[in-house]
Amino acid sequence: MKTYFIIALFLLNYLNVQAQDEAQWLRNPCISPDGSTIVFSYHGNLYRVSSNGGDAVAITTGDAYDGYPIYSHDGKTIAFASDRYGNFDVFTIPAEGGLSTRLTFNSANDFPNDFTVDDQEVLFGSGREAPAASVRFPSPRLFLNLYKIPVTGGRPILVSAAGAESARYNNNGTKIVFQDRKGYEDDLRKHHVSSVTRDIWIFDVNKNTYTQITNFVGEDREPVFNNNASSIYYLNEKNGTQNLYKMDLSSKKDVLLTNFEDFPVRHLSISKNNTMAFTWKGSIYTFSEGSEPRKISIRVKDDSAYETIKNVDINDVSEFKVSPNGKEIAFVNRGEVFVTGVDDSRTKRITNTPEQERMVNWSPDGKTLLFSGERNNSWNIYKVTLTRPEETYFFASTTLKTEPLIATSAEEYQPKYAPDGKKVAYVKDRNILQVLDIETKKEVTILPEGHNYSYSDGDWDFEWSPDSKWLFVSDQKGFGFTRNTALLKADGTGDFIYPVNSGFGENEPHWALDGKMMVYASSRDGEKSLAYNGSSESDIYAVFLDQKAFDTYILSKEEYELFKEKEKETKKDSEEKEDDKKKDKKNAKDKKVEDLKINLENLDYRKIKLTINSSNISGYVLNKDASKLYYLSEFEKGYDVWVTEPRTKETKILAKLGGSPSGIQISEDNKTLFLSNNGQIIKLDADTGKTTNIKIDGDMLLDAAGERQYIFDHAWLQLKKKFYDPNIHGIDWQMYHDEYAKFLPYINNNYDFQQLLSELLGELNASHTGGRYTHRAKNADVTASLGLLFDENYTGDGIKISEVLSGGPLDNAESKIKKGAVILKINGEEIKADDNWNKYLNNINGKNILLTVKNGTTIFDEKVQPVSMRMQSELMYKRWVKLMEHKVDSLSNGKLGYVHVRGMNDGSFREVFDNVMGKNRDKKALVVDTRFNGGGWLHDDLNTFLSGNLYLKLAPQGNLLKGGESLTRWTKPSIVIMSESNYSDAFIFPYIYKQNGLGKLVGMPVPGTGTAVWWERQIDPTIVFGIPMIATIGAEGRPTENLQVNPDIEVPLPYNDFLSGKDPQLQTAVKELLSDIKE
């Protein structure tokens, strides 16, 4: 009752705020050409308001997100972007409201920038493939092409493939001013001073040339021309906060026009009389030179602010725990705890809060349920109990009692009951293991601070011994990353015992055979990735604390049968001596669990491997007598349930699953297995493998506004407690929380929420921050790709082909389609010169279509099965690599090899090794291209690979072989190309390459982004944010974050060069390396 009262009170306050206050968190204002009105985005709709403020009028309504409005120069039409068909497309609508017209049909995101000066076309940016002549790294994600399209609809015409954002025409349409983009950094990061920050350029449309206007090492953004194009207005952070500046284009002198503090000016637009509109702290301001910025008060009186509390399905289980009696399952869905019956679909919602709950655990008697909840600014542990004696099951209960078990200002989570039910072990402040005596409330520390480092919350494990006196724990021993299993006394006394202590590490510790056997997973005998940080195959191992148990366990099947017969006879003789059988039964019932006896002598000789094949294992469980091991393993596509009998080594698939199942558990009677897969809980017959989905009959009320408030607070707390710099870069983190939190009541969608989250996290001035939102639309348009590049200058009927991509669907022996051919029809739809042919490729991925093609004077039909845009992007990447290889080979007359390091991961490293030690092995030196590498963790592998020395020659039968040891490393000279686009570990690599003196760096400076991150997915799974947690500290003795690495030879990559097929960075690297090897 209390929860519903709080929700009702929140809604009442929310509606009161909306009714009484002016609207806030207004996005993308655009002032009309005459300066009289402003159109803006709010609650995912477009509104129009007088530039003096007042009541706003809705221009668009509906469930889609409409934003990014642009006025036509005559003020009669508005272009905007909307996700009505899944991605953002460009639409137009009359400025006074009315029916909208869809202009673009490609499933790449499209955003309007401006109208042409005659208002006949809309200029828009789109993440589509670059033309064939461009030799820049192909990344539609980073570089938006500029197109213009008729306002009545038609074919988009390419204006520029430079990668322009916030592009605006001058007054006669001869020039376009824009901001560039150089790399992967978050759009809303603030205060950084590095090579990746944006600069402003002017594109001369007639001359097809690009001129850089600003060169400040911080952000220069959102430029607009003044009314006679003699100056530009733009946003800049020179004075510490992003403000409005004016630059005279003749003298290049700039002037600060506004003096806002602490929060950035955003969303600049301008009218014909040079009156500007922009936002600051979520409100809209107008400004004219010679006056002060004027905040305009805007009220929105419709009900777009109202956000209903919706019923949503329970269909995405993130974790679960089976009750001791095997009849109930506690699980977590979207941060709420539920209990359902194993054979009864009734489902009870246990928690009902906007905050997150997780890490459920049953008491041994099944009458109490523990969970962790983040409330009152910290994680706490709560217990739930049944309140009515006649109700014995949670899933069928009517009332429950929830109360804190452990709730302090510290972080406390991951509770686990001891088998005797008297104690609870839990994690404190992420890295400390505590034990609580439930009755006395006394606590002891089992694993102190300094041993474990938690990367993601709940990522290390522990398990109670059957006698409740020991814990089997994962322990990093202060080194991080690799864990060993430790045996610790539950009273906090005694030494740490490491029964295995393998350099390969041990994970997933479990007990078996009543504590006589300890089980764990390790990669000791499995195949590992070429890269250190890649995946490794694992096995399940056991180590025995009891010699007799070990001796028995390793018996063969035949020997064990004889042993059981002998044991049965011995037991029978013993029972015959017992006169009182009732007493015997009572004694059996009341028999206490034996204390654990630890025999460490010769422990290494009592260690065995249980699995017969190493594999990718994602969880395992043993039955009670450890005669069967069940585990989730990936041998084929996805994970399946396997079972092995350690005594006989008989191994087989028990159930084919696919997907990514996890959380495997076994019932007390050993008859049923439970696991989750693709958000569903599944039970399996432990003998036959028959699978049945657990039916969950229920839904949940989703308070989306409350959930966003929680995610916002949670993100702020996570960064406060886990940010790599405990001083949080010296900023007032509490102030920023309080200020940005004020806007939450004015947000009703995740696009705006993501921007709010990114604005907050952007204040940290750190890499790997910001919020991410993945829009999930039903029945969204998906544009297919034909594996072709097209002539963007062709204006006739049909589509003219400029290139057939190698490896694409039309690159085959049967195809007659060649460069220069024209596609006249797609599936019978004739393509006129003014047709937007993208719409004919929507929603046909994987389907056979018919193309009608003209090649010279011949017209023919050809069938093709299009591929996805993602696959086309992969083809474009391979094409670019081949082009770079060819350029290096040609420029060096075959002397130099080339390799591109795509990412800092095992897959990329294998490509590097394959190419370098294969086709480039005979080359005299190597060009290593790291541009547009987004990171990972490969710096040590890659530096080691390039640091080889020829220290030993080999000569079989007197024949001196080429090369020699080191056989697995490059032993010749190398040079590295880098750019502003290198990110994360792709910063660390050239940083240490230079420190180690392995060779020269060519290109542009790389921003200091070498901080390890955890991207944390939220209870709303469409939201993710970054937590940069682990600093890397180099020779300077300081974190490398914001420490830029400069090249030995600085070479930019000008627009006109790469758009015409030239790569001066590559050319310089080749020239320099050739010079080096001559010496």
Q: For residues 162 and 142, give the distance between their C-alpha atoms in angstroms, rounded to a whole number.
A: 11
Whether 355 is catalytic: no
Can you spell out the DSSP letters for 739-792? HHHTTGGG--SHHHHHHHHHHHHHTT--SS-SEEE----TT---B-B-SEEE-T
Beta-sheet pairing, 858-864 with 432-437? unpaired
* Tokens 């690495």 belong to residue: 1045
CA dihedral sign of residues 914, 918, 921, 923: negative
Are the beta carbons of 988 and 934 closer than 8 angstroms? Answer: no
Beta bridge partners of 370: 361, 383
Q: Which is the catalytic residue, given 737, 768, 900, 939?
A: 768
Q: Which is the catalytic residue, given 160, 468, 618, 984?
A: 984
Whether 984 is catalytic: yes
Are the beta carbons of 314 and 347 closer than 8 angstroms? Answer: yes
Start-to-end CA span in the chain (Å): 83
Are the beta carbons of 80 and 46 closer than 8 angstroms? Answer: yes
Are the beta carbons of 1022 and 775 closer than 8 angstroms? Answer: yes
Rounded to the nearest angstrom, the gap between the alpha carbon of residue 582 and the centroid of all alpha carbons in its chain is 62
Q: For residues 247 and 144, give the distance between their C-alpha atoms in angstroms, rounded to a whole number.
A: 25
Whether 1041 is catalytic: yes
Residue 162: name the closest of 125, 114, 194 by CA.
Answer: 125
Are the beta carbons of 517 and 545 closer than 8 angstroms? Answer: yes
Burial class (CB in 10 A: 0-12, 13-18, 19+), 327: middle
Are the beta carbons of 465 and 448 closer than 8 angstroms? Answer: no
Per-residue burial over 839-875, b = 16 or more CB atoms within 10 Å of its CB, e = otherwise: bbbbebbeeebebbbbeeeeeeebebebbebebbbbb
Q: For residues 366 and 385, give the distance between their C-alpha atoms in angstroms, rounded to a whole number.
A: 9
Strands in 72-206 per DSSP E = 77-85, 87-94, 101-102, 110-115, 121-126, 145-150, 157-160, 165-169, 175-179, 200-204
Q: Which is the catalytic residue, given 165, 219, 307, 1041?
A: 1041
Q: ∠ at Cα 257 (237, 245), nearest 5°?
A: 50
Per-residue tokens: 515? 């504590």
Return phi, psi of residue 157, to 5°: -115, 130
Can you spell out the DSSP letters for 820-840? T-EEEEETTEE--TT--GGGG
Hey, which residues are catalytic here? 768, 984, 1041
